[in-house]
Structure 1
Amino acid sequence: MCDVGDSVNLLRVLINCAEKAANIARLCRSNEDLLNLLVQEKTGAEANARFEHDFKTLADVLIQETIKHDVATWFPAMREAILGEESPNFTNKLDENVTIAVGATEKDTTACLESVLTGHEQAAAALAAEVHRVVNTETELELGDLPELPEQLDYNNLGVWIDPIDATAEYISGDTIFTNFPGITSTGLDCVTVLIGVYERDTGVPVIGIVAQPFGKKLEEHVYKTSLYWGVCLSTLQAHNCNFEARDKHRKLCIFSSSEQSDILQNLIELGYEIAFSAGAGHKALKVLTHEVDVYVLSKASTFKWDTCAPQAILRALGGNIYDYKASVKQQQAIPLNYTATAEDAEEGDWKRNTGGLIAVRNVDALEALLNKLGDQ
Structure 2
Amino acid sequence: MSADEGSEPNLLRVLINCAEKAANISRTCRSNEELLALLVQEKSGVEANARFDHDFKTLADVLIQETIKHEVGGLFPAMQESILGEESPNFTNKLGESVTIAVGADEQETAACLEAVLSGYEGAARALASDVHRVVTFASEKLGEIPDLPEELDYANLGIWIDPIDATAEYISGDTMFTDFPGITSTGLDCVTVLIGVYERDTGVPVIGVVAQPFGEKLEENVYSSSMFWGVCLPALQAHNCNFEARDENRRLGIFSSSEQSDILQRFLDLGYEFAFSAGAGHKALKVITHEVDVYLLSKGSTFKWDTCAPQAILRALGGQVLDYAASVAEQKALPLTYLVEDSDSDWKRNAGGIIAVRNVDVVEELLAKLADQ
Change (3 A) 1:339 1:40: farther
Aligned-partner Cα distance in 2 for 1:20–1:215: 13
Other-structure match for 1:46: none
SS of alignment partner, residue 182 of structure 2: coil
SS of alignment partner, residue 310 of structure 2: helix
Matched, 1:133 2:130: no
Other-structure match for 2:71: 70
Aligned-partner Cα distance in 2 for 1:42–1:272: 44
Other-structure match for 1:328: 328
**What is the Cα deviation at residue 286 of structure 1?**
0.2
Instruction: Report if aligned partners of 2:58, 2:87 keep a CA contact under 8 Å in 1.
Output: no
Instruction: Report if aligned partners of 1:106, 1:129 keep a CA contact under 8 Å in 2.
Output: yes
Deviations 1:109-140 (A, max 9, x none): 010011111122221111111101111213x5
The two structures, once aligned, show a CA RMSD in angstroms of: 1.9
- The residue identity in structure 2 corresponding to 1:204 is G
Change (3 A) 1:9 1:263: same
Deviations 1:202-235 (A, max 9, x none): 0000000000000000010000000000000000
- The residue identity in structure 1 corresponding to 2:92 is T
- The residue identity in structure 2 corresponding to 1:314 is I
Matched, 1:361 2:358: yes
Aligned-partner Cα distance in 2 for 1:174–1:93: 28
Deviations 1:329-367 (A, max 9, x none): 000000000001345xx44x2010001100000000000
Q: Percent identity?
A: 76
Give ranges in structure 1 of 5+ residues lacking alignment.
1-5, 44-53
User: Where do residues 4-153 of structure 1 align in structure 2 (5 Å cutoff)?
Assistant: 8-38=9-39, 56-138=57-139, 140=140, 142-153=142-153
342, 349, 374: which is aligned to 2:371?
A: 374
Instruction: Report if aligned partners of 1:147, 1:239 keep a CA contact under 8 Å in 2.
Output: yes
Q: How many residues align?
A: 359
Aligned-partner Cα distance in 1 for 2:158–2:27: 30
Aligned-partner Cα distance in 1 for 2:159–2:166: 19
Aligned-partner Cα distance in 2 for 1:236–1:136: 26
SS of alignment partner, residue 149 of structure 1: coil
Instruction: Report if aligned partners of 1:22, 1:213 keep a CA contact under 8 Å in 2.
Output: yes
**What is the Cα deviation at residue 39 of structure 1?**
6.7
- The residue identity in structure 1 corresponding to 2:153 is L
Change (3 A) 1:40 1:258: same
Instruction: Report if aligned partners of 2:39, 2:56 keep a CA contact under 8 Å in 1.
Output: no
**What is the Cα deviation at residue 96 of structure 1?**
3.1
Instruction: Report if aligned partners of 2:40, 2:173 keep a CA contact under 8 Å in 1.
Output: no
Deviations 1:65-99 (A, max 9, x none): 00000000000000000000111123333343321
Change (3 A) 1:55 1:170: farther
Instruction: Report if aligned partners of 2:304, 2:350 keep a CA contact under 8 Å in 1.
Output: yes
TM-score (norm 2): 0.92
Matched, 1:303 2:303: yes
Change (3 A) 1:41 1:77: farther
Other-structure match for 1:162: 162
- The residue identity in structure 1 corresponding to 2:281 is A
Aligned-partner Cα distance in 1 for 2:80–2:270: 48
**What is the Cα deviation at residue 57 of structure 1?**
3.0
Change (3 A) 1:157 1:191: same
Instruction: Report if aligned partners of 1:256, 1:298 keep a CA contact under 8 Å in 2.
Output: yes
Aligned-partner Cα distance in 1 for 2:56–2:326: 29
Aligned-partner Cα distance in 2 for 1:41–1:97: 23
- The residue identity in structure 2 corresponding to 1:370 is L
Change (3 A) 1:172 1:141: farther
SS of alignment partner, residue 137 of structure 1: coil
Deviations 1:49-75 (A, max 9, x none): xxxxx9843221110000000000000
Aligned-partner Cα distance in 2 for 1:151–1:39: 46
Change (3 A) 1:294 1:42: farther
**What is the Cα deviation at residue 42 of structure 1?**
11
SS of alignment partner, residue 194 of structure 1: strand
Change (3 A) 1:145 1:221: same
User: Where do residues 278-297 of structure 1 align in structure 2 (5 Å cutoff)?
Assistant: 278-297=278-297
TM-score (norm 1): 0.92
Change (3 A) 1:242 1:218: same
Instruction: Report if aligned partners of 2:252, 2:273 keep a CA contact under 8 Å in 1.
Output: yes
Change (3 A) 1:55 1:112: closer
Other-structure match for 1:220: 220
Aligned-partner Cα distance in 2 for 1:286–1:196: 13
Aligned-partner Cα distance in 2 for 1:137–1:85: 25
Aligned-partner Cα distance in 1 for 2:148–2:333: 34
- The residue identity in structure 1 corresponding to 2:359 is R
Q: Following superposition, which runs of at least 4 residues in structure 1 exceed 4 angstroms of deviation? A: 38-43
